[in-house]
Amino acid sequence: ASFQRIKQTDDQLKAFLTLNEEQAKQKAKQLDEQGSLQGERGLLFGLPIAVKDNIVTEHVTTTAGSKMLENYDPIYNATVMDRICASESILIGKTNMDEFGMGGSTENSAFQVTVNPWNKEYVPGGSSGGSAAAVAARQAFFALGSDTGGSIRQPAAYCGVVGLKPTYGLVSRFGLISYASSLDTIGPITKNVEDAAYLLSVLAAHDPYDSTSADVDVPDYISALNGNVKGLKVGVPKELLGEGVDQEIKDKIQQALKTLEGMGAIVEEVSLPHTEYAVPTYYILGPSEASSNLARYDGVRFGMRSESGNDLIQMYKETRSQGFGAEVKRRIMLGTYALSSGYYDAYYKKAQQVRTLIKQDFDELFANYDVLIGPTTPTTAYKIGEKVADPLKMYLNDICTAPVNLAGIPAISVPCGLTNDGLPVGLQIMGKHFDESTVLRVAHAFE
């Protein structure tokens, strides 16, 4: 059914970069005939999953949306893919994304522009735009995305689905093609909160292959969905409902908060005073880490190699000039500048210090509140092409999501109605480190 649906819709939608049809059908047949292949049925037995193309899949082309990796055929699986396979979910294909996760509209893919299933003139968001569109258009049962500054939650909001960014360290990054390693996370994009809880149960685990993987007990996320929010303390950061946020979005969030109050939650206005510095901080640290991570694409070790250079240095230059798109080059230059001697203290070090202040804002609030709630994005999806010429406008769109990555905390985006234009609005619930259970419980109470 998934492949049928993809055939009907993907010419227009363009959510997938690679389909895994033959292997998927073979696996489905096997499961059908033999039942479980491992004694007991896996938690996601037989469910078709779409996976963002920056998650490495053994012998299934993995491009990260870049020409640099156009023909990259990985010889291993990301840890999350091993876990997905063990759960007996079936990989149906790899989804479109902004090159290396750099963008918020999927327009920075080197291959194609995915459209928003609600209105094909609009972007699906990004960088996990292919995954969010595939779930919204019912091409896949659910999907994996990655989130460095909002790339799971923002496309989920724009496409009217659920997107969960886990606590940094809860889900292994082994086999996730790096953008900014201190911020990168993998998480579920699903139709509803219950599916997100199931998928997270499979993803969350300590992994010795990832040195930043946390060795913590993984709670039962499914039984956390008990509908009870009585007495729950909810903070509403005023900075996330301020200037620059569409009035229609503010109204929807206020309405949702009323509903929550009606269910017995205690809702209070709070402050995250360093919010205005989150976007500049993110756009120093993200590009700095990217400039280092992307040094590996030199035409020797991975992916494409330009044939035009006639010595080693020339080969490096040509490969990187031809292989990277404009946004990736912009960030490599920004990051290289911010890390260079003479500027390091003024930019990189300063940004690290501000990151600590942003994290402290959250820590202080979480001493008194169970969750924080606000919008996922300041605006709904915008028209394709509207912001491509103005990167700064794109960057400012990350104001509600980037602080969460800087602090390393979990957050979910859940659908919160449609605007008069018929575009989805996302509500964001942020929680304490490793307290995905509460985040999911509150999100579930809205459904």
The stretch among 35-43, 132-140, 148-156, 364-372 that binds ligand GLN (CB under 6 A) is 148-156
Min CB(203)–ligand GLN separation in Å? 17
124 binds ligand GLN (CB under 6 A): no
Q: Are 281 and 180 in contact (CB under 8 A)?
A: no
CB neighbour list of residue 160: distance below 8 Å, 6 or more residues apart: 118, 136, 415, 418, 424
Smallest gap from residue 102 Cβ to ligand GLN (A): 5
Site for ligand GLN contains 148 (CB under 6 A):
yes
Q: Which range of residues in 145-153, 187-195, 222-230, 425-433 is near ligand GLN by CB under 6 A?
A: 145-153
Joined tokens for residue 132:
């969010």
Residue whose CB is less far from ligand GLN, 101 or 188: 101
Closest alpha carbon to 271 in 304, 242, 238: 238
In the complex, least distance from residue 68 CB atom to ligand GLN, rounded to whole angstroms? 17
Closest CB to ligand GLN among residues 286, 424: 286
Q: Which stretch binds ligand GLN (CB under 6 A): 11-19, 98-106, 208-216, 438-446?
A: 98-106
Q: How far is the CB of 147 from ligand GLN (least distance, A)?
A: 5
**Which residue out of 2, 89, 127, 172 is catalytically annotated?**
127
Q: Site for ligand GLN (CB under 6 A): which residue of 20, 62, 151, 167?
A: 151
The window from 32-40, 77-85, 96-104, 232-240 that contacts ligand GLN (CB under 6 A) reads 96-104
Nearest to ligand GLN by Cβ — which residue? 151
Closer to ligand GLN by Cβ: residue 42 or 166: 166
211 catalytically annotated: no
Query: Rounded CA gap, 267 and 371, in Å?
Result: 10
Tokens of 171: 């889900």
Q: Give the active site residue among 2, 14, 27, 52.
A: 52
Binding mask 31-70 for ligand GLN (x = CB under 6 A): ----------------------------------------
Binding to ligand GLN by residue 107, rule CB under 6 A?
no
Site for ligand GLN in 65-94 (CB under 6 A): none
Q: Residue from 74, 149, 323, 335 that binds ligand GLN (CB under 6 A)?
A: 149
Compute the distance between CA of residue 421 and CA of residue 7 in angstroms, rounded to an integer: 28
Determine if 125 is a binding residue for ligand GLN (CB under 6 A).
no
224 φ, ψ (degrees, to nearest 5): -70, -20
- In the list 65, 124, 129, 150, the residue contacting ligand GLN (rule: CB under 6 A) is 150
Known catalytic residue at 52: yes
Which member of 131, 151, 201, 213 is catalytic? 151
Q: What's the closest the beta carbon of residue 283 comes to ligand GLN, in angstroms?
A: 8
Q: Which of residues 162-221 bind ligand GLN (CB under 6 A)?
A: 179
How far is 104 from 101, CA to CA, in rounded Å? 8
Among 102, 193, 253, 334, binds ligand GLN (CB under 6 A): 102
Measured in degrees and rounded to the nearest 5, phi and psi for residue 16 equal -105, 140
Q: How far is the CB of 404 from ligand GLN (least distance, A)?
A: 10
Residues 334-373: x where in contact with ligand GLN by CB under 6 A, - otherwise, as a string: ----------------------------------------
Q: What is the rounded CA–CA span in Å between residue 14 and residue 134?
A: 9
Q: Specify whether 127 is catalytic.
A: yes
Q: Which of 398, 408, 409, 430 binds ligand GLN (CB under 6 A)?
A: 398
Does 286 bind ligand GLN (CB under 6 A)? Our answer is: yes
For residue 270, what are the β-bridge partners?
237
Residues that bind ligand GLN (CB under 6 A): 101-104, 127, 147-151, 179, 286, 398
Q: Which residues are catalytic?
A: 52, 127, 151
